A and B are shown apart, each in its own frame.
Chain A
Amino acid sequence: RKEVEQDPGPFNVPEGATVAFNCTYSNSASQSFFWYRQDCRKEPKLLMSVYSSGNEDGRFTAQLNRASQYISLLIRDSKLSDSATYLCVVNIVDSNYQLIWGAGTKLIIKP
């Protein structure tokens, strides 16, 4: 089983719709969780950290479910500019430095 798994997509979603995707992780010792966004041929950029209590930033909501070992990202009122690959990233407790990356979920917002 891969350490961090994501549906590669693509998710084709009409503008204005709500879209959600999940990411599962295999290591129960995982400590920190993040969503990154990566545009084509660009560097990953931190979208948001994922806290145990969940967190919201504008149209974006991230949730953590430790029991089922997954994190989710919800995007409301999607914009054309949300089209990108969304990368799930996990940091394990016995490693302060190494981030484990999912392969990403590609999102395409259509007008």
Chain B
Amino acid sequence: EPEVTQTPSHQVTQMGQEVILRCVPISNHLYFYWYRQILGQKVEFLVSFYNNEISEKSEIFDDQFSVERPDGSNFTLKIRSTKLEDSAMYFCASSAQGVGTFGSGTRLTVV
């Protein structure tokens, strides 16, 4: 069964540093998403991406965040100047249309 692959599975970074979370969506999918889930809280939408541009973004997705599809396979989330409250699980998802298939997530810990 096709999978969405995320790397790394766990990232520890110092406050103020930049991190890049990587995702390889399912190959024939056209829509890409990032979500985050702070421990014990609900899943929150960050951004969706289609046709090489952002389709929608939430209030959480401010100037600190950016997404890129640098090549035909990867989809990245960059978080600049990380804060303690950015610590969360970050899930990538992709879809042909409609709901997405989720990757196993990257646990980001900001110390």
Considering only residues 51-65 of chain B, those with a C-beta below 8 Å from chain A are 55-56, 58
Q: How far is the CA of A99 from the CA of B103 in the complex (A)?
A: 16
| Segment with Cβ contacts to A, from B40-48, B68-76, B78-86 | B40-48
Chain B residues with Cβ below 8 Å from A43 are: 91, 102-105
Chain B residues with Cβ below 8 Å from A100 are: 45
Considering only residues 28-60 of chain A, those with a C-beta below 8 Å from chain B are 32, 34, 41-46, 49
Interface footprint category on B? 20 to 34
Contact with B along A84-111 (1 / 0, CB 8 A): 0001010100011111111110000000
Q: Which residue of B lies closest to A38 (CB)?
A: B43
Q: How far is the CA of A95 from the CA of B57 in the complex (A)?
A: 11
Q: How far is the CA of A67 from the CA of B55 in the complex (A)?
A: 31
Q: Is the interface of B mostly helix, strand, loop or mixed?
A: strand
Having A98-B48, A102-B42, A103-B41, one finds 12 other A-B pairs with CB under 8 Å, namely: A32-B99, A44-B91, A44-B102, A46-B99, A87-B42, A91-B99, A95-B56, A97-B31, A97-B33, A97-B48, A97-B50, A99-B45
Chain B residues with Cβ below 8 Å from A104 are: 42
Chain A residues with Cβ below 8 Å from B98 are: 32
Chain B residues with Cβ below 8 Å from A99 are: 45, 99
- Report yes or no: B41 in contact with A34, Cβ–Cβ below 8 A: no
The smallest C-beta distance from A1 to any residue of chain B, in angstroms, reads: 15
- Report yes or no: A98 in contact with B58, Cβ–Cβ below 8 A: yes
9 inter-chain pairs at a CB distance below 8 angstroms, sorted by A residue, are A34-B99, A43-B91, A44-B102, A45-B102, A87-B42, A95-B56, A96-B55, A97-B31, A98-B45
Q: Which residue of B lies closest to A6 (CB)?
A: B42
- Report yes or no: B44 in contact with A101, Cβ–Cβ below 8 A: yes
The smallest C-beta distance from A96 to any residue of chain B, in angstroms, reads: 8
The smallest C-beta distance from A2 to any residue of chain B, in angstroms, reads: 10
- Report yes or no: A97 in contact with B91, Cβ–Cβ below 8 A: no
